[in-house]
Amino acid sequence: GAGVSQSPSNKVTEKGKDVELRCDPISGHTALYWYRQSLGQGLEFLIYFQGNSAPDKSGLPSDRFSAERTGGSVSTLTIQRTQQEDSAVYLCASSLGTYSPLHFGNGTRLTVT
């Protein structure tokens, strides 16, 4: 079956612009996660969805970052007024629920110039 799909694969944007990153989870997966990974670094947790609600937004680095999930499926991560320090790979993952392994997409590489 289809895995987790993220788009775009790569995004180059100018400082100050807004960007939207999309994640299509595996069908039937109720849990969805967003992570950020800087070059050569580990995973930084951003936000967790269970269904359409986000019980844990504790990792969002500032109010420029927001995310939503609709229909218990597609999720969008929005970064407003992008800064150069936002440059990273943004990874999305989904799972069947608690204690289930995460399945990751290929990520979106965001470059802010």
Partner 1 sequence: AQTVTQSQPEMSVQEAETVTLSCTYDTSESNYYLFWYKQPPSRQMILVIRQEAYKQQNATENRFSVNFQKAAKSFSLKISDSQLGDTAMYFCAFMNNYQLIWGAGTKLIIKP
Q: Considering only 16-24, 39-47, 68-76, 78-86, which stretch makes contact with partner 1 by CB under 8 A?
A: 39-47
- Is residue 56 a contact partner of residue 69, using CB atoms and an 8 Å limit? no
Kindly state whether residue 11 participates in binding partner 1, applying the rule CB under 8 A: no
Of 20-28, 61-69, 70-78, 92-100: span binding partner 1 (CB under 8 A): 92-100
Q: Find the binder of partner 1 among 26, 93, 110, 112 (CB under 8 A).
A: 93
Nearer CB in complex with partner 1: 73/108: 108
Q: Which of residues 10, 38, 45, 81 is near partner 1 by CB under 8 A? A: 45
CB of 82 within 8 A of CB of 90? no
Is there binding between residue 34 and partner 1 (CB under 8 A)?
A: no
Q: Which amino acid is at 87?
A: S
* Residue 104 binding partner 1, by CB under 8 A: yes
- 108 touches 21 (CB < 8 A): yes
At position 111, the amino acid (one-letter code) is: T
Nearest to 66 by CA among 11, 31, 21: 21
